[in-house]
Amino acid sequence: MGARRGTTTLPGRRGNIRSTGLPAVTALLALGVLAGCAAENEANSAMPGGAQEAQRVQVAYQDQVAADRAKLVPGHIDLDGPTAPEVGSTYQVKATICGPMSTVCGPIGSPTAPAGASASPQPSASPQPSASPQATASPLPQVMTGARIRVRLSSQLPGKLEAISNPVQPVVAADDAANWIWDVRADEPGDYTLTFVVSTLAGETGENLMPDQVFTMRFPVASTSTYWWESTGATAWQVLLGLGGLLSAFGVSVLGVVKWLRRRYRERTGQAAAVTGMATAMPEPTPPSGAGH
């Protein structure tokens, strides 16, 4: 009886490979997967318990921050201060933060940003939620809202910076608005800068959800006559008193110096008057007779 062609394995290595090659490869792959899983389990078991917990906490933190950032929306900030502050006087400076639909900062699309207000650029790596049409219509500087907001004010001016409002306030809804107010007084004239630092905070932890946003406003302080007298005038008087003490040490009184100056002034004035009188009393010369012939 002849063998059926195609069903009998040919002798030799090729025949053996053809009949048993596929199951062998499958078995090798299964062994590789099992070995990889065992190695991963061994690596995880080799990590200290504290490291595993830290990794879990970090992943949970990243997920929470990403979820909170996705809920932020761009609002606006409006900075307001005195137009011509003077030295020694106290003025109120205000920062108002509005949601994208609030009109407290002005009608949407119509308010103008203060000339001295500027915003620092944000790092390109920080994610920015997409802005709504209402949020991009206003020319006021943008801030991220939809969370608790903290605003801090600082300046190099010598004087007083006193907050009279809560530093942390919620601006959550689209039509929310909040005001931050400070009493500001400069004790010396000069051209100063007020720096506003805006922080968008997480609701539960109070940590920053994104990098701080920084805005600045010019605060030029003019001098006054009172300040001049208290500084320059008082200094000049002290110099005169010191000069009087020096003259007294040489036996010359200040009163004597004043009398001498008055006497000299009167003598010069009298001499000038006498010369003027003599010039007026002198007759004008008459031409000799016959000069016209």
Among residues 223, 256, 279, the one where a domain terminates is 223
Are 80 and 211 in a shared domain?
yes
Please, are residues 202 and 68 in contact by the beta-carbon 8 Å criterion?
yes
Among 183, 199, 223, the domain boundary falls at 223
Residue 225 has pLDDT above 70, yes or no: yes
pLDDT at 129: 46
Residues 210, 84 share a domain: yes
pLDDT at 267: 77
Same domain, 175 and 254: no
Distant-in-sequence, close-in-space partners of 11: CB < 8 Å, separation ≥ 6:
none
Question: Is 151 in the same domain as 262?
Answer: no
Residue 191: per-residue pLDDT: 96
Is there a domain that residue 266 lies in? yes
pLDDT confidence of residue 53? 83
Task: Determine the Cα–Cα distance for residues 161 and 167; give it in Å rounded to an integer.
Answer: 13
Q: Which of 165, 189, 223 is the last residue of a domain?
A: 223
User: Which residue from 140, 35, 127, 17 is spatially nearest to 77, judged by alpha carbons?
Assistant: 140
**Residue 188 maps to which CATH number?**
2.60.40.10
Instruction: Tell whether 291 is covered by a domain.
Output: no
Q: Which domain holds residue 232?
A: 226-271
Report whether pLDDT(141) > 80: yes
Indicate the burial class of 76 (C-beta count within 10 angstroms; 0-12, 13-18, 19 or more): buried
One domain for residues 169 and 245: no
| Domain total of the chain | 2
Assess if residue 97 is contained within a domain.
Answer: yes
Two tokens, residue 240: 């005169």
Q: How confident is the model at residue 206 (pLDDT cuts 50, 70, 90)?
A: confident
Query: Is 89 in the same domain as 186?
Result: yes
162 and 207: one domain? yes
Burial class (CB in 10 A: 0-12, 13-18, 19+), 84: exposed
Is the domain of 214 the same as that of 258? no
* DSSP, residue by residue, the chain: -PPPTTTSPPSSHHHHHHHHHHHHHHHHHHHHHHHHHHHHHHHHHHS-HHHHHHHHHHHHHHHHHHHHHTT-EEEEEEEE--SS-BTT-EEEEEEEEE-TT--TTSSTT-----TT-EEPPPPTTS--PPPPHHHHH--SPEEEESEEEEEEEEE--SEEEEE-S-SEEEE-STT-EEEEEEEEEESS-EEEEEEEEEEEE-TTT--BSS--EEEEEEEEEB--HHHHIIIIIHHHHHHHHHHHHHHHHTT--HHHHHHHHHHHHHHHHHHHHHHHHHHHHSPPPPPPTTTT-
Residues 141 and 259 grouped into a single domain: no
Quickly state the pLDDT bin for 219 (edges 50, 70, 90). Answer: very high
Using pLDDT thresholds of 50, 70 and 90, give the confidence band for residue 8. very low
pLDDT at residue 197 greater than cutoff 50: yes
Query: Does pLDDT of 106 surpass 60?
Result: yes
Residue 116 lies in a domain: yes
One-letter amino acid for residue 162 of the chain:
E
- Residue 16 falls within a domain, yes or no? no
Same domain, 243 and 190: no
Of residues 33 and 248, more confidence is placed in: 248
| Average pLDDT of the residues in 255-266 | 73
Least confident range from 14-23, 97-106, 203-212: namely 14-23
**199 and 144 Cβ atoms separated by less than 8 Å:** no
Task: Judge whether residue 14 has pLDDT over 90.
Answer: no
Whether pLDDT at 268 is above 70: yes
**pLDDT for residue 33 is more than 60:** no
Per-residue model confidence (pLDDT) at position 126: 47
Task: Verify that 257 and 196 share a domain, yes or no.
Answer: no
Maximum average pLDDT range among 85-89, 116-120, 126-130: 85-89
Q: How much is the pLDDT for 233?
A: 59
Please give the share of the chain, as a percent, with pLDDT higher than 70: 56
**pLDDT score of 70 more than 70:** yes
Mean pLDDT of 200-209: 88
Is residue 230 domain-shared with residue 242, that is, in the same domain? yes
Residue 272 or residue 68, greater confidence: 68
Q: Which residue has the higher pLDDT, 134 or 92?
A: 92
pLDDT(165) > 80: yes
pLDDT of 172 reads: 95
